[in-house]
Amino acid sequence: MNPESADAELAEPYLRGLLASAGLDVEYVRGEGNTLYRLDAQGQETPVLDYAGGYGSLIFGHNNPEIVARARELLDGSVPVHAQFSSHPYANRLAAELNRIVHRELGVDEPYYATFANSGAEAIEAAVKHAELDRVLRLSETLAELAAGVEEARAAVGDGSATVPDAVYAHLATERPAGDPLAPVIDEITRRNGERAAKAPVFLALEGGFHGKLMGSVQLTHNEAYRAPFAALGVRARFVPRGRPEALDEVLAQERGVLLGLAVEGGEVRVVEREHPVFCAFLLEPIQGEGGIQPLSDADARIIQEFADATDCPLILDEIQSGLGRTGTLLASSQMGLRGDYYTLAKSLGGGLAKASVMLVRQTRYRAQFELVHSSTFAKDAFSCHIALKVLEMLERDGGQAYRQASERGAALQATLEKVRTAFPDVVKEVRGRGLMLGFEFHDQSQAEHPAIREAAGGGLFGYVIAGHLLHGHSIRTFPTASAVNTLRFEPSVLLTDEEIGRLEEALTDVCVILREQAGERLVLSS
């Protein structure tokens, strides 16, 4: 064995090199609260204030003592992690508690059935698969209903109780035959229905949205760099711009189609139409995470809800990053008046320890057979379910104190970010978000005077270079959002203190001074 092989980078070496170019390739050895620890050159722990928060996975911070104690209790008790294909009462309790909170926030009592998974992207895949199963079954039911109507019309014409008027042939652009009057009619209906039913389902998603990088979910993510290499493998998605209500009308006009059948009324056969369920689902984040921390406006939320209701297009609300109390409620979308047919939750559901996610589907959409065609080796296990129950218990405790804390701490953090923006309007473009999910966007620096700043911006690394400076110059950790690299993300836990907010204000002020003065040589990317 080559003794040097131990030092070779075999775990995603290109990514490691990319991190190194911005000074972000550091190893963290411990975490607690909003703090991660790395070792300095002397091997001593150096605290780093973590504002990335596991991309929104740490509503109660790193290694929360109460959650860790519950995890130890479970492991010390030899809780079975692998007990597949058996009764899982703890999973049912978790689903019931999620339902209780969802019902309270939405003001409804319709059950939502739970399918558990291991990550956010897997929950999205489960929702998409279920939505397509539901669409296919609805399509089959509609076609069967229409076929039955055709047979009834055939029988009525055969026994002389009904005739075929010229309007039927005109409707289908066929001619009356010399023989069986329904033969060309049925042939044309069969042909048209076959063509329409064979059309691929259409998925709708918002421009700027991010729903994962798995084979299906990546095609629902707007960033073309993620989608394009795998386009031949994925589903067909149409991306809808925010703030353009007419865009949905355009999509409907282009995609809408009907299925045809026959009915007998007043002794005459007539052509009937049924809507073809072409839309599989509309996926959206109430607050786009990787798209730059972009909250959905109330106007857009209302338009999307109205479109979904009018077209019977299921809404999949991706609450993977925005949910679990981060904006002051379990569901950020509940503050916007949205009612999802599906919800996906993950990240903080695992309390920072377990890898857990869930897809919730409302009873009126639920298809029982989905449970037989979709499964997971690791999902719905006792450990992750009990940890998730502990997270919900902590969120709901003391009348929802954690929700109020997220709102209050988020407001304090946002006020500080706005203070910096106001002081540097030439540097900072906008502060966005809700609660403890905030974005801080810089103006474009691709034409900056200083070459280091200009080259970083031109190469798509601006946000990462700024993050490197915050890390090495101020011991603060954050990252830009994946598809909007001029926007830094701030997603700390509810444990955020005024002192920690003050440290961030000082650090961002330093960054803004460097950018205003075009003093790129002062950027610190190592320590």
- The CATH number covering residue 501 comes to 3.90.1150.10
pLDDT at 146 over 90: yes
Inside any domain, residue 394: no
Are 371 and 467 in the same domain? no
Q: Residue 189: what are its φ and ψ, rounded to 5°?
A: -65, -45
Inside any domain, residue 515: yes
Neighbours of 120 (CB within 10 A): 27
Q: What is the mean pLDDT of residues 428-455?
A: 97
Are 361 and 215 in the same domain? yes
SS3 category, 21: helix
Are 207 and 266 in the same domain? yes
Are 373 and 457 in the same domain? no
CA distance linking residue 203 with residue 321, whole number of Å: 21
pTM confidence score = 0.95
Strand partners, 283: 205, 316
Inside any domain, residue 527: no
Q: What is the mean pLDDT of residues 392-418?
A: 98
Encoding tokens for residue 224? 């073309």
CA distance linking residue 312 with residue 445, whole number of Å: 44
Q: Residue 204: what are its φ and ψ, rounded to 5°?
A: -110, 140
- % of the chain with per-residue pLDDT over 70: 99
300-322 pLDDT per residue, tens: 999 999 999 999 999 999 999 99
**CATH number of 348's domain:** 3.40.640.10
Inside any domain, residue 387: no
Are 105 and 172 in the same domain? yes
CA distance linking residue 264 with residue 271, whole number of Å: 9
pLDDT at 476 over 60: yes
Contacts of 191 (CB under 8 A, 6+ apart): none
- % of the chain with per-residue pLDDT over 90: 94
Are 424 and 375 in the same domain? no
Q: What is the mean pLDDT of residues 481-494?
A: 97
Inside any domain, residue 3: no
Specify the pLDDT at position 3: 39
Selection from 130, 183, 118, 174 nearest residue 154 by Cα: 183
Domain that holds residue 430: 12-64+399-522
SS3 category, 360: strand
Are 154 and 285 in the same domain? yes
CA distance linking residue 211 with residue 116, whole number of Å: 17
Inside any domain, residue 427: yes
Are 286 and 432 in the same domain? no
pLDDT at 471 over 90: yes
Q: Do strands 112-117 and 357-362 pair parallel, antiparallel, or not at all (unpaired)?
A: antiparallel
13-50 pLDDT per residue, tens: 999 998 999 999 999 999 999 999 999 888 899 999 99
Are 415 and 478 in the same domain? yes
Tell me the one-letter amino acid at 181. Answer: P
Selection from 475, 439, 445, 399 nearest residue 208 by Cα: 439
Are 188 and 313 in the same domain? yes
Inside any domain, residue 355: yes
Are 426 and 475 in the same domain? yes
Inside any domain, residue 494: yes
List the Cα angle 349/351/353 in 5-degree steps. Answer: 115
Domain count, the chain: 2
Specify the pLDDT at position 243: 86
Are 197 and 141 in the same domain? yes
Radius of gyration of the chain (CA): 28
SS3 content of the chain, % helix, strand, coil (to 5): 45, 20, 35
Spacing of C-alpha 7 from chain mean position: 37
181-193 pLDDT per residue, tens: 999 999 999 999 9
